[in-house]
Structure 1
Amino acid sequence: MKNQSLAPTAPGQTVYPILFAISFSHLLNDLLQSVIPAVYPMLKDNYALSFTQIGIITLVFQLTASILQPFVGHYTDRKPNPRSLALGMVFSLLGLLCIAFAADFYYILASVSLIGMGSSVFHPEASRVAHLASGGRKGLAQSIFQVGGNAGGAIGPLLAALIVVPHGQRYISWFAILAVAAIFILTIVGKWYGQHMIIKKPVTITSPAALPEHKPLPRATVVSSIIILLVLIFSKYFYMASMTSYFTFYLIDKFGVSVQQSQIYLFIFLASVAAGTILGGPLGDRYGRKLIIWISILGAAPFTLLLPHTGLWATITLAVIIGLIISSAFSAILVYATELIPGKVGMIAGLFFGFAFGMGGIGSAVLGYLADHTSIEYVFKICAFLPLIGIITAFLPNIEGKKI
């Protein structure tokens, strides 16, 4: 089986073993990252942190994960390095061990920055592997890759609730086992990646999957479209920052649930995000990415606006609906952007993953500061309006023609 997955593949063939392997690696990568916000209530109590300091932790993590990504992507577009996948996970492993034994707030910041650096290396190169293994079904491949990350983000808080919360912060070190497993898997994927690059080079020009899918758009149209897509990413990830960083605090403050219960509810929300992610890519392939982008962001607005005004079970139900709808956006946005600028998969992946992480980090810091000076409930009322920004999707060019 191992030899089959590493064997040369015909142009246009979707390599599912590699897609599932890189998706599972994404699951492990994002599971490790999601442990950080999952233990925020514990860190807040252990180190007497304010909401502003909680926001700063997320900001440092997300900025180290975001600032480097476009540069990593741009560099690897020219000089791909199959070993970088496993190397990025080594940084995450070190950061995870450091945060388990952190002595103070600044030690925590240094620890999460290591995990962020690992993420900045992993995502651009992993996206390129998914693109190369797609066989032309880029939306499907990106969704398979993304659903792994979202599933890991959902499982992380649940495992933290079962392992870390009952036993203490040092039990975060147990997650190092998963980091080692990811390094092993990514080493195997890296071997396929290296062979695939060598195989593809002679046939790049004649391969059907490599041919341009549409005529190049004017530069001004491409630039304006990228800006619109980044604004949409801003609206999505600012809202997601409120959920991933502060949903537990919101539930504890408003409904009086326990820390463990709040993390289980966060898991339910993140599980809905994972479930919705797998739909975005294939639906974009079938019906057009612009339509999916439109529905996934603007379509969440009625539910986000209603959420701050309901009881506990209605809140959880609405959170699930929001997760299902809004999660389909990123795969469609990323593939749409790669079609705007063909041949720059690493740079585009780095830019959009980096911007998404950066907006998540800035959003968490800003919302934490706002929560300290108002209330968590007020933060959720303000964030409810963010998906309305999705209306600007109307200004994106239709580069795919009619798909229905």
Structure 2
Amino acid sequence: MVPSKANEDLAVAEETSIRHRSLIAACLAHAVHDGFTDSLYAFLPVWQTQFGLSYAALAIVRALYYATMGGLQIPADRALKRFSPRTTLMLSTAMASTGLLIAVMPLGFFGLCVGLVIAGIGSSVQHPQGSMLVTDTYGEAARRPLGVYNFSGDLGKALLPALVAVMLPILAWRPVLALLVILGALVTFALVWLAPATPIKLSNKRQGSRVKASSGFDILTVIGGLDTATRMGYLLFLPFLVRGHGGGSTEVGVALGLLFVGGALGKVTCGWLAERFGVVVSVIATEALTAAMITATLFTPITATLAMLPVLGVVLNGTSSILYGSVPELSSGDTGRAFAIFYTSVIGSGGLAPIVYGLIADHTSQTVATIASAATAGLIIPLMLVLRPHLQKVAKAST
């Protein structure tokens, strides 16, 4: 009995260790890749000066990375689905780092563009593969770990662009970008130890339950796109809203910081909220609060607006963790492909939504466009009621 109990305890400890290392691997890759993505904003003014680019050309330069990353999610997942999580995450990070290395080389504007395309191809692999690794490792208990994985991307977006912005006045842009390349190389080697070497197979029971509920996945994907559109639209107008309330550059920075702090907290806590109160109730509550608070910030004085922003950040950004956690439940059994489709919708919405809201503002007013972003959050509520039967079907199939 004693040896058997000891072996059982050892097996549990080993399984727990694998889970923790897999989560760390996925989060580390997510943080670095999302950090790479948002760090490009800090380089744009430098590239504009060095290469004599117009604002339209700058937008195209950014799109070389962003559009490649978003548009290749599904093909990249399909091409690499037979490989282990270790191989795919290492390849993804190594390719993104290689692309940035090419951009560092003195190859002129053409070399910069080629490097950004290659880096975007590398980052297109990370989202579906990292999400699948967390989902398959934690099984039915994956909702909260996916929230942590989601939060790690925001952490990378907060830290790396800030570090780049601090270093650019001190160093030339090529050495700063080279430091990102070195970071990517270090993470690639760390994944050798952290990420599992063999693919993780799902049980037949979980696959079967997901096949039965797959019709709800399309609705979830639309909801994910609308949720991202709401967030990007409000972020577009928040600096102008603060200035309209009499704030200056300092207040704008404080406002964005408060919103992002709340958003990071929301990424971690909203997954727990869904576990306790259910997906439908939680999403309806967070989207209703989002719509109400976005509208309220249009009419409140600057002090009240700043006080509301951390709470608004929680619901504005945290809903995505609930939605990500529902992707495995509503997919058709192919977790990686499901996440690839979902991320394509989210990233595509993030790119198009500011353009749409900007056009609304140009032809009406900033206030109308901000209310339109709040109304987008409101559209999610009836869609969640349509999604409810599909989620209930999943719950019954898994019991």
- What TM-score bracket applies, with the shorter chain setting the length? 0.7 to 0.9
1:340 to 318, 330, 334: 330
User: Aligned-pair distance for 1:327?
Assistant: 2.2
Contact in 1 for aligned 2:234/2:373 (Cα 8 Å): no
Q: Which moved more, 1:281-290 or 1:67-76?
A: 281-290
Give 1:222's aligned amino acid: S
Contact in 1 for aligned 2:135/2:142 (Cα 8 Å): yes
User: Aligned-pair distance for 1:231?
Assistant: 1.8
User: Aligned-pair distance for 1:101?
Assistant: 8.5
State the secondary structure of the residue aligned to 1:15. Answer: helix
State the secondary structure of the residue aligned to 2:166. Answer: helix
1:48-95 residue CA offsets vs partner (Å, 9 max, x unmatched): 755x66665555543212111122223333444633323322343355
1:394 maps to 385
2:33 maps to 29
Contact in 2 for aligned 1:157/1:264 (Cα 8 Å): no
Give 2:214's aligned amino acid: V
User: Aligned-pair distance for 1:356?
Assistant: 0.8
Contact in 2 for aligned 1:43/1:49 (Cα 8 Å): no
C-alpha distance in 1, partners of 2:290/2:350? Answer: 18
C-alpha distance in 2, partners of 1:161/1:248? Answer: 19
Per residue, is there more helix in 1 or in 2?
2
Contact in 2 for aligned 1:139/1:335 (Cα 8 Å): yes
C-alpha distance in 2, partners of 1:61/1:264? Answer: 29
2:214 aligned with 1:222 = yes
Larger Rg: 2
Give 2:268's aligned amino acid: I
User: Aligned-pair distance for 1:25?
Assistant: 3.0
Note closer, same or farther for the CA distance 1:81–1:156 as it changes in structure 2 (3 Å cut). closer
State the secondary structure of the residue aligned to 1:309. Answer: coil
C-alpha distance in 1, partners of 2:262/2:272? Answer: 17
C-alpha distance in 1, partners of 2:329/2:67? Answer: 26
- TM-score, with length taken from structure 2: 0.77
1:272 maps to 262
1:375-390 matches, within 5 Å, as: 379-390=369-380
1:30-63 residue CA offsets vs partner (Å, 9 max, x unmatched): 122122345667778886755x666655555432
C-alpha distance in 1, partners of 2:365/2:170? Answer: 30
User: Aligned-residue CA RMSD in angstroms?
Assistant: 4.0
2:261 aligned with 1:257 = no
Note closer, same or farther for the CA distance 1:292–1:343 as it changes in structure 2 (3 Å cut). same
Contact in 2 for aligned 1:73/1:124 (Cα 8 Å): yes
Note closer, same or farther for the CA distance 1:218–1:142 as it changes in structure 2 (3 Å cut). closer
Give 1:180's aligned amino acid: I
Note closer, same or farther for the CA distance 1:49–1:388 as it changes in structure 2 (3 Å cut). farther
2:230 to 239, 243, 260: 239
1:69-218 matches, within 5 Å, as: 69-80=73-84, 82-96=86-100, 98=103, 112-134=116-138, 136-164=140-168, 166=169, 170-171=172-173, 173-174=175-176, 176-197=178-199, 210=203, 212-213=205-206, 216=209
Alignment gaps of 5+ in structure 1: 1-6
C-alpha distance in 2, partners of 1:148/1:320? Answer: 18
Aligned positions, number: 381
Contact in 2 for aligned 1:96/1:172 (Cα 8 Å): no
Q: Which moved more, 1:375-384 or 1:280-289?
A: 375-384
Give 2:315's aligned amino acid: I
Note closer, same or farther for the CA distance 1:360–1:347 as it changes in structure 2 (3 Å cut). same
Give 1:332's aligned amino acid: I
Q: Which moved more, 1:115-124 or 1:262-271?
A: 262-271
Contact in 2 for aligned 1:298/1:389 (Cα 8 Å): no
2:298 maps to 308
Contact in 1 for aligned 2:245/2:301 (Cα 8 Å): no
Q: Which moved more, 1:30-39 or 1:245-254?
A: 245-254
Note closer, same or farther for the CA distance 1:39–1:303 as it changes in structure 2 (3 Å cut). farther
Note closer, same or farther for the CA distance 1:29–1:172 as it changes in structure 2 (3 Å cut). farther
Contact in 2 for aligned 1:120/1:354 (Cα 8 Å): no
Give 2:296's aligned amino acid: L
1:222-249 residue CA offsets vs partner (Å, 9 max, x unmatched): 33x2222122112111122235556456
1:125-163 residue CA offsets vs partner (Å, 9 max, x unmatched): 211222233254211221121111012223345335533
- TM-score, with length taken from structure 1: 0.77
2:72 aligned with 1:68 = yes
Give 1:30's aligned amino acid: D
Contact in 1 for aligned 2:231/2:316 (Cα 8 Å): no
2:321 maps to 331
> Alignment identity in percent?
19
Alignment gaps of 5+ in structure 2: 1-10
Give 1:174's aligned amino acid: V
C-alpha distance in 1, partners of 2:76/2:239? Answer: 33
C-alpha distance in 2, partners of 1:19/1:28? Answer: 14
2:294 aligned with 1:294 = no
Note closer, same or farther for the CA distance 1:315–1:103 as it changes in structure 2 (3 Å cut). farther
C-alpha distance in 2, partners of 1:377/1:101? Answer: 46
Note closer, same or farther for the CA distance 1:273–1:285 as it changes in structure 2 (3 Å cut). same
**RCO comparison, higher one (Cα < 8 Å, 6+):** 1
Give 2:182's aligned amino acid: V
Note closer, same or farther for the CA distance 1:266–1:53 as it changes in structure 2 (3 Å cut). farther
User: Aligned-pair distance for 1:389?
Assistant: 1.3
User: Aligned-pair distance for 1:296?
Assistant: 3.0
Note closer, same or farther for the CA distance 1:176–1:76 as it changes in structure 2 (3 Å cut). same
State the secondary structure of the residue aligned to 1:333. Answer: helix
